[in-house]
Every structure is written in structure tokens, then in C-alpha cells.
Amino acid sequence: RSYGADAILIILAGVSEELAYELYDEALKYNMSVIVEVHTVKEAKKALCFKDALIGINNRNLKTLKTEMNTTYEINNVLINHNRPIISESGIKTKEELLEINNKTKIKTFLIGESLLKNLSNNSIFSVL
């Protein structure tokens, strides 16, 4: 916060459960937003404890770097009752994929990086919802 940050990202695969809770509590004390990132159903179940956090579903396996879009669909089922936004992260390449995710899950928040940069370099960017 002292450097001007408004939010933090807690990647559950990268920190202990104890550290995740500590980071979450500290962020809330400083009125910061928190995104808790998950890649597995097990992590998603843990993420539900972070009631005030946005939850990001990373479609990219951080161990293998393989991207699998079904990750969003599988994990969304666990998070269906979370009262904050869910983010589908990584692997979205087209507007059609984005709309398909939205239609199947009602997720309206996306992290689009690599494909956006590629589209920008070609001077063609797709419009989001």
C-alpha cells in the first residue's frame, strides 16, 4: 500500500495456507482489494474462505504451463455461490471463447494478456462484453 498499490494477488499454489490468510487479513486492514488465484478444485474450496476476495481461475497450470479452458468450467461449479466476482484467467484467444465462457458460467470478468498483446500488434482488438 505504501507504494500505491490498490490490490494484491494471492496465488494459492505459491504460498502456504497460513501465509495466504495473513496476506489477506493485512490487505483488508489497508483497505486493499484481494484476488485469490486458484487452479484446482481443492484450491477453489480453500478460496471460498476468503469471502471478500475476487477469485481468479487460472486456466494455465503453473507447474506445466499448459492451458486448459475446461479448468474454468470445472472450478466455476465449486465457486458458484461465491458472492464476489470470479475471473477467468489465461488462454482466452477470441471474442467467441469469451462469450462462450460467459454464457456457460455467467463469469463477466476476464484476464486477457498474451492474446490481447498479439492482437494489438496486428492492430485488431476484439470488443469485450
> How high is the pLDDT of residue 125?
47
| Of residues 89, 100, 77, the one with CA closest to residue 36 | 89
| Of residues 126, 84, 74, the one with CA closest to residue 105 | 74
Beta-strand runs (E) in 28-115: 33-38, 54-58, 86-89, 109-111
Provide the grid cell at 88.
Answer: 477467468
Question: pLDDT tens digits for the chain (129 residues)?
Answer: 889 999 999 999 999 999 999 999 999 999 999 999 999 999 999 999 999 999 999 999 988 999 999 999 999 999 999 999 999 999 998 889 999 999 999 999 999 876 555 655 555 444 444
With beta carbons less than 8 A apart as the criterion, state whether 11 and 26 touch: no
pTM of the model: 0.86
| Of residues 14, 20, 22, 28, the one with CA closest to residue 48 | 20
